[in-house]
Amino acid sequence: MNLRGLYTLFEKEVLRFLKVVVQTLLTPVATALLYLVIFGEVLAEHLEMYPGVGYGAFLVPGLVAMTLIQNAFANSSSSLIQSKMTGNLIFLLVAPISPLEFYLAFVAAAVVRGLMVGAGVWLVALAFVDLPLHSPALVLAFAVLGAAVLGGLGVIAGVWADKFEQLAAFQNFVVLPLSFLSGVFYSVHALPSPWDRLSWLNPFFYMIDGFRYGFLGVSDAPPLLSLGVSLAFLAAVSVVCLRMLAMGYKIRQ
Amino acid sequence: MAEAIRVEGLHKRYATVHALRGVDLAVARGEFFGLLGPNGAGKTTLIGILAGLVRPTAGRAAVMGHDVRRRWRQARRALGLVPQELVYDPFFTVREILWLQSGYFGLGRANRAWIEELLEVLNLTAKADANLHDLSGGMKRRVLIAQALVHRPPVVVLDEPTAGVDVELRQALWHFTRRLHAEGHTIVLTTHYLEEAEALCGRIAILHQGMLRALDTKAGLLARHPWRCLCLELDPPGAPLPEAVAALVSEREGGRVKLRLHRLNDQIGAVLDALRTAGLRIRDLRTEEPGLEEVFLELVHEAPAGEAAAAEREAG
User: What are B18-72's pLDDT values in tens digits?
Assistant: 989 999 999 999 999 999 888 888 888 999 999 999 999 999 999 999 999 999 9
List CB contacts (< 8 A) between B72 and chain A: 96
Q: Is the pLDDT of residue B306 over 50?
A: no
Q: Is the pLDDT of residue B316 over 50?
A: no
Q: Using alpha carbons, list the distances in angstroms from residue B223 to A65, B36, B198, B267.
A: 73, 17, 14, 17
Q: Return the pLDDT at A213.
A: 92
* Cα-Cα-Cα-Cα dihedral sign, residues B173, B179, B185, B189: positive
Total number of residues shown for chain A? 253
Of residues B292 and B285, more confidence is placed in: B285
Whole-number percent of chain B with pLDDT over 70: 94
Of residues A114 and A34, more confidence is placed in: A114
Q: Is the pLDDT of residue A130 over 60?
A: yes
Least confident of A47-61, A79-93, B261-275: A47-61
Pick from B69, B58, B96, B64: nearest CA to B80: B64
**Residue of chain B whose alpha carbon sits nearest to that of A19:** B91
pLDDT bracket for residue A242 (50, 70, 90): very high
Distance from CA of B35 to the nearest CA of A (A): 20
Provide the β-strand partners of residue B3.
B28
B182 in A contact zone (CB under 8 Å): no
Range of the domain at A118: 3-247
List CB contacts (< 8 A) between A7 and chain B: 103
In this structure, the number of other CB atoms found within 10 A of the CB of residue A93 comes to 18
List CB contacts (< 8 A) between B52 and chain A: 93-94, 252
Q: Is the pLDDT of residue B263 over 80?
A: no
* Residue A252 located in a structural domain: no
**Mean pLDDT, to the nearest integer, of B285-299?**
77
* Residue A154 located in a structural domain: yes
Least confident of A200-204, A207-211, B224-228, B265-269: B224-228
Q: Return the pLDDT at B302.
A: 65
Q: Return the pLDDT at A150.
A: 95
Q: Return the pLDDT at B1.
A: 56
Q: Is the pLDDT of residue B305 over 60?
A: no
Q: Tens digits of per-residue pLDDT, B108-132?
A: 888 998 899 889 888 889 898 999 8
Q: How many CA atoms lie within 13 A of B104 on its CB side?
A: 27
8 Å CB contact between A171 and A157: yes
8 Å CB contact between A65 and A150: no
8 Å CB contact between A88 and B92: no
Pick from A238, A215, A64, A191: nearest CA to A136: A215
**Mean pLDDT, to the nearest integer, of A219-236?**
93
C-alpha A128: how far from chain center: 23
Give per-residue burial for A202-235: e unless 16+ CB within 10 Å, then b.
bbbbbbbbbbbbbbbebbbbebeebbebbeebbe
Of residues A35 and B10, more confidence is placed in: B10
Q: Is the pLDDT of residue A6 over 80?
A: yes
8 Å CB contact between B97 and A86: no
Of B14, B83, B105, the CB nearest to A95: B105
Of residues A197 and B91, more confidence is placed in: B91
B76–A8 CB contact, under 8 Å? no
Q: Return the pLDDT at B311.
A: 44
List CB contacts (< 8 A) between B101 and chain A: 91, 95
Distance from CA of A144 to the nearest CA of B (A): 25
Distance from CA of A14 to the nearest CA of B (A): 11
A97 in B contact zone (CB under 8 Å): yes
Q: Which of B17, B89, B157 is the mutation pick for testing A, counting most A CBs within 10 A?
A: B89
Least confident of A191-195, B204-208, B267-271, B303-307: B303-307
Q: Is the peptide bond before A194 cis (omega within 30 degrees of 0)?
A: yes
Least confident of A64-73, A86-95, B132-141: B132-141
Of B48, B83, B108, the CB nearest to A253: B48
Of residues A93 and B196, more confidence is placed in: A93
Provide the β-strand partners of residue B288.
B229
Q: What class, spelled out in words, does domain B1-78+153-225+291-316 have in CATH?
A: alpha beta
Q: Which of B74, B91, B102 is the mutation pick for testing A, counting most A CBs within 10 A?
A: B91
pLDDT bracket for residue B314 (50, 70, 90): very low
Q: Is the pLDDT of residue B215 over 70?
A: yes
Q: Residue by residue, what is the 3-state secondary structure of chain B?
A: CCEEEEEEEEEEECCCCEEEEEEEEEEECCCEEEEECCCCCCHHHHHHHHHCCCCCCEEEEEECCEECCCCHHHHHHCEEEECCCCCCCCCCEHHHHHHHHHHHCCCCHHHHHHHHHHHHHCCCHHHCCCEHHHCCHHHHHHHHHHHHHCCCCCEEEEECCCCCCCHHHHHHHHHHHHHHHHCCCEEEEEECCHHHHHHHCCEEEEEECCEEEEEEEHHHHHHHCCEEEEEEEEECCCCCCCHHHHCCEEEEECCEEEEEEECCCCCHHHHHHHHHHCCCEEEEEEEECCCHHHHHHHHHHCCCHHHHHHHHHHHC
Q: Which of A91, A93, A250 is the mutation pick for testing B, counting most B CBs within 10 A?
A: A91
Q: Return the pLDDT at B308.
A: 43
Q: Return the pLDDT at B217.
A: 86
**Residue of chain B whose alpha carbon sits nearest to that of A16:** B91
**Mean pLDDT, to the nearest integer, of B134-156?**
90
Q: Return the pLDDT at A186.
A: 77
CB-count exposure of residue A58 (10 Å: 0-12, 13-18, 19+): buried
Provide the β-strand partners of residue B262.
B227
pLDDT bracket for residue B313 (50, 70, 90): very low
Q: How many CA atoms lie within 13 A of A229 on its CB side?
A: 18
Of A4, A19, A253, the CB nearest to B54: A253
Q: Is the pLDDT of residue A59 over 90?
A: no
Of A2, A15, A93, the CB nearest to B106: A2
Whole-number percent of chain B with pLDDT over 90: 33
**Residue of chain A whose alpha carbon sits nearest to that of B83:** A90
Q: Return the pLDDT at B70.
A: 92
Give per-residue burial for B235-257: e unless 16+ CB within 10 Å, then b.
eeeeeebbeebeebeeebeebeb
Q: Return the pLDDT at B307.
A: 47
Is the ipTM higher than 0.90? The answer is: no
Count of structural domains within chain A: 1
8 Å CB contact between A40 and A60: yes
Of B76, B91, B107, the CB nearest to A19: B91
Q: Is the pLDDT of residue B153 over 90?
A: yes
Q: Tens digits of per-residue pLDDT, A196-211?
A: 788 888 899 999 999 9
List CB contacts (< 8 A) between A2 and chain B: 73, 106
Residue type at B164? G
Provide the β-strand partners of residue B186.
B155
A134 in B contact zone (CB under 8 Å): no
**Mean pLDDT, to the nearest integer, of A169-185?**
84
8 Å CB contact between B230 and B261: yes
Q: Is the pLDDT of residue B235 over 60?
A: yes
In chain B, where are the structural domains located? 1-78+153-225+291-316, 93-146, 226-289
8 Å CB contact between B233 and B282: yes
Q: Is the pLDDT of residue B94 over 90?
A: yes
Q: Return the pLDDT at B82.
A: 92
Terminal alpha carbon distance of chain B: 41
Q: Using alpha carbons, list the distances in angstroms from residue B27 to A124, B68, B79, B207, B219.
A: 63, 15, 13, 15, 17
Q: Is the pLDDT of residue B261 over 50?
A: yes
Q: Return the pLDDT at B56.
A: 92
